[in-house]
C-alpha cells in the first residue's frame, strides 16, 4: 500500500513537474517514473520525496529538484550503450536515473558518508551498472574515461578542462556554471574533436563543486 502511494506520487510528479514543463524524451520520462526517489532521502523526509524542490541529504548537501534531474538527463542525450560520468553523487538518485538510461555510470562523491550510503541504496535497488567512487570529481575519473556524457551536479566557476578531456569525440557535458554564492546557468558543452561548443539553457542554483587540488 505504501509502495502504491509512492508510485502515485511519482507518476503525478512526472506528469505535472516534468512533462508539464516540457521534458519530452520518453526514455527520460520512463526513468523518472521508475526510480524510487523516496529511497534516496531519509525516512523522515520520504513523504516529501516527490515534491517540486530539493531536499537536505546530510553533510550540508541536497538532492536536486526532480525537474532539474530530468532536464539535465535530457540535455545529456544519453543512449543505451553510453558510458556516463556523474560528478557529485550526493544521495545517488541522479546516478540511478542515469543508470536507467546508460550502459554504465561512474559517479564520484567527495563525502565518504554520502558515497557509502548512495552505493548501498544503489546496490539494494539492483543498479549493478552504477559504481560510486569517493574522490575529488573535479578531475573526473580517469580509469573509466572516456565518457559519452558527463553530468556535473555541483556548481563550477568555469568548465573544468579535465572533464572535457575525458569526453569522447561527440560527447556531451551538462554542468551548472557560475559563482557558487549566486545562481548559475545549466550549460551544455559538446566536444567535437578538439573544439567545444557551449550553450546555456536554464538558470539554476547548486551547491559548489569543491576543488581540492
Ligand atoms: N546528484 C545528487 C545531488 C548532488 S548535490 C543527487 O541526486 O542527490 C552535489 C554533490 O556534489 C554533493 O554531494 C557534494 O558533496 C558533491 N561534490 C562537490 N564537490 C565535489 C567534488 N569536487 N567531487 C565530488 N563530489 C563533489
Which residue has the least CA distance to atom 16 on ligand 1?
A: 88
Neighbours of 116 (CB within 10 A): 12
Peptide bond into 95 cis (omega under 30): no
CA angle centred on 28, ends 90 and 92, rounded to 5°:
15
Q: What is the CA radius of gyration of the chain?
A: 16
Q: Report which ligand 1 atom has the smallest distance to the Cα of 40.
A: 8
For ligand 1, the distance from its centroid to the CA atom of residue 53, given in whole angstroms, is: 17
Closest CA relative to residue 85, chosen from 187, 94, 66, 44: 94
Q: What is the DSSP letter of 99?
A: H
The rounded Å distance from CA 194 to ligand 1 centre is: 28
* Cα 1 to middle of ligand 1, angstroms: 33
Q: In residues, how long is the chain?
A: 213
Grid cell 572516456 — which residue?
A: 146
* Ligand 1 residue neighbourhood (C-beta within 6 Å): 61-64, 87-88, 90-91, 93-94, 108-111, 114, 136-138, 153-154, 207, 209-211
Q: CA distances (Å), 138 to each of 88, 127, 151, 157, 175, in order? A: 9, 24, 11, 11, 11
Catalytic residue at 46? no
pTM of the prediction? 0.97
Kindly give the distance from the C-alpha atom of residue 88 to the centroid of ligand 1, in angstroms, as a whole number: 3
pLDDT computed for residue 4 by the predictor: 86
* pLDDT given at position 213: 59
3 state SS of 30? helix
**Catalytic residue chosen out of the listed positions 64, 91, 107, 117:** 64
Class of residue 96 by CB neighbours under 10 A (exposed 0-12, middle 13-18, buried 19+): buried
Q: In this predicted structure, what is the pLDDT of residue 182?
A: 84
Q: Taking CA 87 as the corner, what is the angle to CA 130 and CA 35, rounded to the nearest 5 degrees?
A: 45
Q: Which of 109, 112, 130, 175 has most ligand 1 atoms within 8 Å of CB, for mutation?
A: 109
pLDDT tens-place values along the chain, 213 residues long: 667 899 999 999 999 999 999 999 999 999 999 999 999 999 999 999 999 999 999 999 999 999 999 999 999 999 999 999 999 999 999 999 999 999 999 999 999 999 999 999 999 999 999 999 999 999 999 999 999 999 999 999 999 999 999 999 999 999 999 998 889 999 999 999 999 999 999 999 999 999 875
Amino acid at each position: 500500500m505504501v509502495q502504491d502511494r509512492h508510485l502515485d506520487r511519482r507518476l503525478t510528479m512526472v506528469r505535472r513537474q516534468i512533462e508539464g514543463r516540457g521534458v519530452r524524451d520518453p526514455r527520460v520520462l520512463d526513468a523518472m517514473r521508475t526510480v524510487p526517489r523516496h529511497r534516496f532521502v531519509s525516512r523522515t523526509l520520504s513523504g516529501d520525496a516527490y515534491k517540486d524542490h530539493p531536499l537536505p541529504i546530510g553533510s550540508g548537501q541536497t538532492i536536486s529538484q526532480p525537474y532539474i534531474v530530468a532536464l539535465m538527463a535530457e540535455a545529456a542525450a544519453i543512449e543505451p550503450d553510453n558510458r556516463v560520468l556523474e560528478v557529485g553523487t550526493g544521495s545517488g538518485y541522479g546516478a540511478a536515473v542515469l543508470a536507467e538510461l546508460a550502459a554504465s555510470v561512474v559517479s564520484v562523491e567527495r563525502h565518504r558518508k554520502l558515497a557509502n550510503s548512495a552505493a548501498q541504496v544503489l546496490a539494494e535497488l539492483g543498479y549493478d551498472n552504477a559504481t560510486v567512487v569517493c574522490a575529488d570529481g573535479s578531475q573526473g575519473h580517469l580509469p573509466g574515461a572516456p565518457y559519452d556524457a558527463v553530468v556535473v551536479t555541483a556548481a563550477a566557476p568555469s568548465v573544468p578542462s579535465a572533464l572535457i578531456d575525458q569526453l569522447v569525440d561527440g560527447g556531451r557535458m551538462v554542468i551548472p556554471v557560475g559563482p557558487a554564492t549566486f545562481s548559475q546557468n545549466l550549460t551544455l558543452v559538446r566536444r567535437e574533436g578538439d573544439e567545444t561548443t557551449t550553450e546555456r539553457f536554464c538558470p539554476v542554483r547548486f551547491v559548489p563543486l569543491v576543488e581540492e587540488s
